[in-house]
Amino acid sequence: MGQRLVQATLEFARAHDHEKLVIWVRGSHHAAQGFYKGLGFRECGRLSRQVSIDDAYDDEVLLEPFL
């Protein structure tokens, strides 16, 4: 289901001439990063200590596909 949603989003972006799509994934969420990288996304940036949950900081990883 997740893969179909991402593919539909990418198709929509291409059909409407979007040149860039960026998503944010928590630095500690390795499964999500692997999922998106498996679909052709690549890391394009990182915001260090962007979020604090239960007194623990985590990065936000920015990922973008090739459109």
Number of domains in the chain: 1
Q: Name residues whose C-beta falls within 8 Å of residue 64's C-beta, 6 or more positions apart in sequence.
A: 20, 21, 22, 23, 41, 42, 44
The two tokens of residue 53 are 């949950």
Range of the domain at 49: 2-64
Which pLDDT value is given to residue 67?
65
- 37-55 residue pLDDT tens: 999 999 999 999 999 999 9
Which pLDDT value is given to residue 20?
87
**Residue 46 belongs to domain with CATH number:** 3.40.630.30
Which pLDDT value is given to residue 26?
97
- 1-22 residue pLDDT tens: 889 999 999 999 999 999 889 9
Which pLDDT value is given to residue 66?
74
